[in-house]
Structures are given as structure tokens and as C-alpha cells.
């Protein structure tokens, strides 16, 4: 018998309100359907009535974890519209914050993956180290979440010699601990066993469903905007695109750990080669009519902003596509034919996470096709009613204690 | 293949499917196409250059018509295919047969601009609330939002 179970939209364990309705056959998920829009804030419409400068702070507030990726994507696009060449030192500092953000986001993800796999101490370790990165971001920008570092033509704050030394010193600690996690993840059989083979997404599926970021790279497609379409100073920094061929959650974890190590090397390179000079240049207030398609490799994957200007100080249109939206079709493919127990892990692997079902079940009558929502007490009453009329053939068997 | 060669190939081999094509910025190619040939053009681009990754579909309200932009990327650059649909007849074909990952973007277009995507595999609303009034499309330029007057419960 098939039945449908709804997860979300509101649940204490979800960081975002999203609803998944699954068609289950026993423990196996046959089909999954997403319902979005519970957190739709109309930012694209709002951006049309704000000036370019005001939108810097609006785009930053699209996300709480990759706030800098949205702001940078928008800033780069507007700089192209303005035909502005940003200051070199400003670009280095911008790239530095980009990579620090990636480090904190990936450490956060590793912790969540550990928790979903039942490896709680891993969660404690990585989140402790994430505090170190958050502190570095606090030293640089004065903020832990919304850094507000970008401005058209560069960044808003410079970093001094003392900060540079302090970050380089702290980086050693992070590197050492990430190496330990890499060994741990590779040699801990229960952790590997839990992640391997879960949430399969073949290479062809990943390409067809337009997946992005670590989800795509773990299916063996080396697509990374930093390499394919270099922005900021990525064309000058040596780094490798991390990929994995296992096409499962384990691969996604491996890609993220590899990216962490790449990011540390990039941060070191950026700090050691920080050019002298101004960190921002003056930008015009109005923008000529034009349009731009700006791409950015956020921690979760390719982030896209399409900006159209009309000659005023406000954009005509700002279109934002966050990486998680691009990964939803792939997530549905991963959920299909998986087990209920794997839902949190599969969902966590693209980044939002879902733990357990809420106490509201939508029952769909397999014969009639009618659906209704029942409260827990009604469901209980129904179960009691059914129990009364059921013939328990084993009723005579005595309870041994 | 660099973007210049890609542009030459498009101009040479896909003449019948496009209106015009040009290089708009480094690694960015702009292609204008009639909406009737859109699916064919995307299938050709996918087969010829491996342009299978659809970044997103952007809709723009131009007043008399809607412009729909398909941003396709590969390792060499981005090709933006733009089609137009008049406001009186806002219909575009679905590209899900070529790019299955386009489904959420097409549903978003239907919600936000009231464009009718023909042959879309799943036409349900995606983002707007369940009780959203029919016929209201928030990203159209003539749609404005007025904040309702604040009423304090129990207040004067």
C-alpha cells in the first residue's frame, strides 16, 4: 500500500520552511514533491524600488550563511554595468572574505552531516572550529554574519599588518584540524558506512537536472565558476577543482573537505601576496542602461544574479537564483527509491536539513483518492476505533511477564 | 572552444534558428531567437557545445512584451538566449524536454509574470501562497503593492 507523508513546512529542526510530500511504499520513498515559497520575501520586487547602494545591503540579507556570496555576486555585476575597474587590494580582500566564508560554511555542513549520520562528536569538533573562522571574519569586518564588506569599486575596510599576522597564525590550527577530520572521515568505518551509497545521483542525472556546486562535483563533473568563469582574483590564485566519482553523500563530504584544504591554501596565498595601494575606487551613482549576467561560486554552488539597469540609480530588474533552488530537482531524484531514514542525510547533503516528521499527517485514501488532514487526537481515535473492530487472533497468547 | 569560435559556429550553422547573435562581454554570447524555434535551438546548442547547464531563466517586463532569457553555461562561457512574447499573447514553449532541470524556473515564470509555458510537465504554482488571488503577477511592472493600514487589535 502506498501512502503519503508530509514533512514541514514548519518544524523545529528545519532551518528553512519547506514542505516535502512523499509517496511511500513501506520504508521506501517512491516519489517526492516539494512545495516552496514559505519564505518568499519578494526581494526581487523590492530591489526595483531601491537604489544600487541600498541593494548592496538588501542582497546581503538574502541568506544568513552565504550572505557574502550574494552581495559579491551583485557587486560584481553592478561594477560591470558601471564599467568600473575595482582596486586590486580591494579585490584581494574580497576574495579573502569569500574563501573564509566558504570555510565557515563547509565546516558548518560537515558538522550537520556528522550529526545526521549519528556522529555527534564530529558535530561538536567542526562547530568549535567554525567559531575560529567566525572570529577571523569578525576581526576583518566587525561582524560575524553580515560582513557588509563590499562596495562598488572595492571593499569598505582595509586589513592591517597585525590582522594579517593573526589570521596566518590561526590558519595553521585550522589546517591541522581539517587534516585530522580528513583522516577521521576516511578511517572511521561507521561514518563511511553510513554515508556511502546514500542519495545516488548519476553523472548524467546531475548534468540534466542542472545541479550545482559540491552536489554536481561529487558526481564527477568538474564545474566550478572560479575556474570556468574567473571573477575577482581567482585567475591569479593556484587552486584545484575538487571532485569525487562516488555520486553519493560520501562523495559530497569528500568534495567539501578537499575544498576546505584548497581554501586554506588560497587564504594563505592571498594574505602573503596582498598588494599595496588603495582598497577602493570611487563609483558613480547612476548606471547606464545595460544588463549583466553575474556568476559566483558560493559554498553551495553556482550563484547567479541577472541585473538590468535603465539609466537611473535603481535597477530595472534584479533576478537572483540561489544555488539551493538549482539543487532541488536533483534532490528529488536522490530521494527516489531511498529509505525514509536517509532523508535527513540526503537533504543535509545539499545543505538544508530535515530531521523528523511533524505531528500532522495528510492521509490519502488509496481507493477513493480523497485526502484530509487529521490531528494527532483524531488519528488516535481512529486507531482505537479500528482496534475495537479488529479480530486479534493472537489475543489469547499470554504476556510472559 | 573559445567564445569567438562558438559565436562563428552559431552564426554559420544555426542561421535558421536565430534572429541575431553577438558577443556582449568577455565569455558572454547573446542570441536572439524567435520563440517558435526556441526548443530546437536549445537542443542544437546542447548537442553542438554541450551547453546543458541552465543557470536560470530570467523574465523581464518590457511593457508591450515580456522578454525571457535562458542563461546556458559550459566551461567556456555563457550563452544567453532571449525570446520575446507579446503581452497580449504571453506564451512560451517549455524547454523541459531538452533540459529537465528547467522545471522550477518555468514554474516560477508562470507565477511571477503570468506567462503560459506550453507543454510544461508540472504546471502547479511554485512560490506564491495558496490563497494568492488569481490573475495577479507580482513581477509585472504594473503590479504594485500597497501596504494595508495597520490595525491594532483592541486599539482605537
- Whether the per-residue pLDDT at A170 is higher than 90: the answer is yes
* Cell numbers linked to A11: 518544524
CB A284 within 8 A of CB A82: yes
- B54 interfaces chain A, CB cutoff of 8 Å: yes
- Give contacts of A317 with chain B, Cβ < 8 Å: 58, 60-61
Q: Name which of A62, A79, A58 is nearest A231 in CA terms.
A: A79
List Cα–Cα distances, A164 to A158, A159, A308, in angstroms: 11, 7, 37
What 3-state DSSP class applies to A105?
A: helix
Find all residues with CB under 8 Å of A88, minimum gap 6, and list them.
A233, A275, A277
Contact (CB<8Å) A210/B102: yes
Indicate yes or no: CB of A329 within 8 angstroms of CB of B104.
yes
pLDDT at B130 (0 to 100)? 83
Q: Under DSSP, is residue A358 helix (H, G, I), strand (E, B) or coil?
A: coil
Domains of chain A in start order, with CATH, are: 2-37+340-389 (no CATH), 43-330 (1.10.645.10)
Q: Which three cell numbers stand for residue A204?
A: 548524467
Mean of the per-residue pLDDT values of chain B = 91
Given this model, what pLDDT does residue A359 score?
25
Which of A42, A293, A308 is the closest to B60 by Cβ?
Answer: A308
Calpha distance A123→A92 (Å, rounded): 31
Nearest to A160 by CA among A45, A271, A17: A271
What pLDDT does residue A12 have? 57
Interface contact B37, partner A, CB < 8 A: no
In 3D space, the residue among B70, B67, B42 whose CA is nearest the CA of residue B54 turns out to be: B70
Closest CA to A305 of A63, A19, A125, A64: A63
Closest CA to B42 of B90, B128, B113, B101: B101
Beta-carbon contacts of A96 under 8 Å, excluding residues fewer than 6 positions away, are A140, A159, A267, A270, A271
CA–CA gap between residue A24 and residue A5 (Å, rounded): 7
Going by C-beta distance under 8 Å and a sequence separation of 6 or more, which residues neighbour residue A399?
A: none
- Is pLDDT of A371 > 60? no
- Please give the average per-residue pLDDT across B51-57, as a whole number: 93
Q: Which of A42, A209, A326 is opposite residue B138, by nearest beta carbon?
A: A42
- pTM across the whole model: 0.87
The distance of B70 to chain A (nearest Cα, Å) reads 11
Give chain A positions within 8 Å (CB) of B138. 42, 45
- A228 and B80 within 8 Å at the Cβ level: the answer is no
According to CATH, the topology of domain B3-118 is Beta Polymerase; domain 2 (3.30.460)
Q: Which residues from B are below 8 Å from A42, CB to CB?
A: 138, 145
Contact: B78, A208; criterion CB under 8 Å? no
The size of chain B, in residues, is 156
- CA–CA distance, A232 with A297 (Å, rounded to integer): 11
- Cross-chain CB nearest to B126 (options A36, A210, A295): A36
Of A246-255, A288-297, A384-393, B12-21, the range with the lowest mean pLDDT is: A384-393
Cβ neighbors of B5 (< 8 A, separation 6 or more) are none
In angstroms, what separates the C-alpha of A156 from chain B's closest C-alpha?
27
Residue of B nearest to A224 (CA): B75
Q: What is the mean pLDDT of residues A134-141?
A: 93
Rounded CA gap, A6 and A361, in Å?
Answer: 6
User: Which of A45, A319, A321 has the CB atom closest to B138's CB atom?
Assistant: A45
Measured between CA atoms, how close is A96 to chain B, in angstroms? Answer: 24
- What contacts 24+ positions apart, CB below 8 Å, involve A134-140? A134/A104, A135/A170, A136/A100, A136/A167, A136/A170, A137/A97, A137/A100, A137/A101, A137/A104, A139/A163, A139/A166, A139/A167, A140/A93, A140/A96, A140/A97, A140/A100, A140/A167
Judge whether residue A57 has pLDDT over 70: yes
Confidence of residue B37 (pLDDT cuts 50, 70, 90): very high
Question: Does residue A345 or residue A173 have the better pLDDT?
Answer: A173
What does the pLDDT read at residue A198?
Answer: 86
Whether residue A168 contacts residue A271, with contact meaning beta carbons closer than 8 Å, is answered with yes
- CA of A303: which chain B residue's CA is closest? B55
Q: How far is A320 from chain B (nearest CA, A)?
A: 9
Contact A41, A293 (CB under 8 A): no
Share of chain A above pLDDT 70, in %: 86
- Contacting B with CB below 8 Å, chain A residues are 36-37, 40, 42, 44-45, 80, 207-211, 223, 227-229, 292-293, 295, 302, 304, 306, 308, 316-317, 319, 321, 325-326, 328-330
**Helix runs in A83-202, H state only:** 88-116, 120-141, 161-187, 189-195
Contact in structure between A35 and A9 (CB atoms under 8 Å): yes
Q: Which residues of A213-237 are buried (b: 16+ CB within 10 A; e: fewer)?
A: bbbbbbbbbebbbbebbebbbbeeb
pLDDT at A358 over 50: no
Note whether B34 contacts A: Cβ–Cβ < 8 A. Answer: no
- Note the ipTM here: 0.92
Which residues have C-beta within 8 Å of that of residue A360, sequence separation ≥ 6? Answer: A6, A373, A374, A375, A376
Least confident of A192-206, A229-243, A348-362: A348-362
Joined grid coordinates for residue A157: 575596510
In this structure, of A26-40, A278-292, A366-380, B122-136, the range with the lowest mean pLDDT score is A366-380
Amino acid at each position: 500500500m502506498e501512502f503519503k507523508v508530509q514533512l514541514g513546512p514548519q518544524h523545529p529542526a528545519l532551518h528553512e520552511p519547506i514542505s516535502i510530500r512523499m509517496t511511500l511504499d513501506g520504508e521506501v520513498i517512491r516519489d517526492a514533491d516539494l512545495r516552496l515559497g514559505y519564505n518568499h520575501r519578494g526581494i526581487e520586487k523590492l530591489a526595483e524600488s531601491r537604489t544600487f547602494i541600498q541593494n548592496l545591503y538588501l542582497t546581503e540579507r538574502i541568506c544568513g550563511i552565504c550572505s557574502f556570496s550574494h552581495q559579491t555576486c551583485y557587486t560584481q555585476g553592478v561594477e560591470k554595468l558601471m564599467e568600473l575597474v575595482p582596486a586590486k587590494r580591494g579585490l584581494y580582500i574580497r576574495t579573502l572574505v569569500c574563501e573564509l566564508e566558504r570555510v565557515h560554511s563547509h565546516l558548518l555542513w560537515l558538522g550537520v552531516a556528522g550529526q545526521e549520520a549519528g556522529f555527534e562528536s564530529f558535530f561538536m569538533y567542526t562547530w568549535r572550529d567554525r567559531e575560529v573562522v567566525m572570529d577571523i571574519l569578525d576581526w576583518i569586518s566587525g561582524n560575524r554574519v553580515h560582513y557588509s564588506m563590499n562596495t562598488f569599486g572595492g571593499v569598505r575596510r582595509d586589513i592591517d599588518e597585525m590582522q594579517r599576522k593573526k589570521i596566518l597564525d590561526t590558519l595553521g590550527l585550522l589546517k591541522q584540524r581539517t587534516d585530522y577530520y580528513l583522516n577521521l572521515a576516511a578511517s572511521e568505518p561507521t561514518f563511511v558506512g553510513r554515508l556511502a551509497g546514500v542519495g545516488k545521483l548519476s553523472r548524467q542525472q546531475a548534468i540534466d537536472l542542472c545541479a550545482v556546486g559540491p552536489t554536481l562535483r561529487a558526481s564527477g563533473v568538474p564545474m566550478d565558476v572560479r575556474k570556468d568563469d574567473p571573477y575577482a582574483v581567482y585567475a591569479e590564485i593556484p587552486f584545484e577543482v575538487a571532485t569525487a566519482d562516488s555520486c553519493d553523500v560520501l562523495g559530497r563530504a569528500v568534495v567539501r573537505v578537499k575544498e576546505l584544504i584548497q581554501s586554506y591554501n588560497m587564504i594563505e596565498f592571498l594574505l602573503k601576496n596582498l598588494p599595496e595601494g588603495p582598497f577602493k575606487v570611487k563609483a558613480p551613482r547612476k548606471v547606464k542602461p545595460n544588463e549583466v549576467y553575474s556568476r559566483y561560486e558560493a559554498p553551495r554552488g553556482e550563484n547567479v544574479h541577472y541585473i538590468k539597469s535603465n539609466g537611473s540609480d535603481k535597477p530595472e530588474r534584479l533576478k537572483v537564483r540561489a544555488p539551493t533552488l538549482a539543487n532541488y530537482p536533483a534532490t528529488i531524484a536522490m530521494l527516489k527509491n531511498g529509505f525514509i531514514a536517509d532523508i535527513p542525510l540526503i537533504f543535509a547533503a545539499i545543505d538544508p536539513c530535515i530531521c523528523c516528521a511533524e505531528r500532522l499527517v495528510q492521509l490519502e485514501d488509496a481507493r477513493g483518492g480523497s485526502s484530509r488532514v487529521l490531528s494527532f487526537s483524531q488519528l488516535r481515535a481512529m486507531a482505537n476505533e479500528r482496534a475495537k473492530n479488529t479480530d486479534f487472533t493472537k489475543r489469547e497468547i499470554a504476556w510472559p511477564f | 572552444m573559445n567564445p569567438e569560435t562558438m559565436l562563428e559556429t552559431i552564426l554559420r550553422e544555426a542561421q535558421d534558428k536565430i534572429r541575431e547573435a553577438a558577443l556582449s562581454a568577455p565569455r558572454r554570447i547573446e542570441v536572439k531567437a524567435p520563440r517558435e524555434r526556441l526548443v530546437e535551438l536549445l537542443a542544437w546548442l546542447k548537442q553542438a557545445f554541450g551547453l546543458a547547464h541552465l543557470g536560470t531563466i530570467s523574465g523581464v517586463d518590457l511593457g508591450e512584451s515580456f522578454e525571457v532569457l535562458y542563461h546556458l553555461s559550459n566551461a567556456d562561457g555563457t550563452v544567453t538566449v532571449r525570446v520575446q512574447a507579446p503581452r497580449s499573447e504571453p506564451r512560451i514553449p517549455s524547454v523541459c524536454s531538452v533540459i529537465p532541470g528547467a522545471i522550477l524556473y518555468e514554474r516560477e515564470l508562470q507565477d511571477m509574470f503570468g506567462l503560459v509555458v506550453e507543454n510544461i510537465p508540472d504546471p502547479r504554482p511554485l512560490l506564491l501562497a495558496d490563497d494568492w488571488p488569481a490573475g495577479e503577477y507580482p513581477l509585472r511592472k504594473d503590479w504594485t503593492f500597497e501596504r494595508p493600514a495597520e490595525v491594532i487589535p483592541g486599539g482605537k
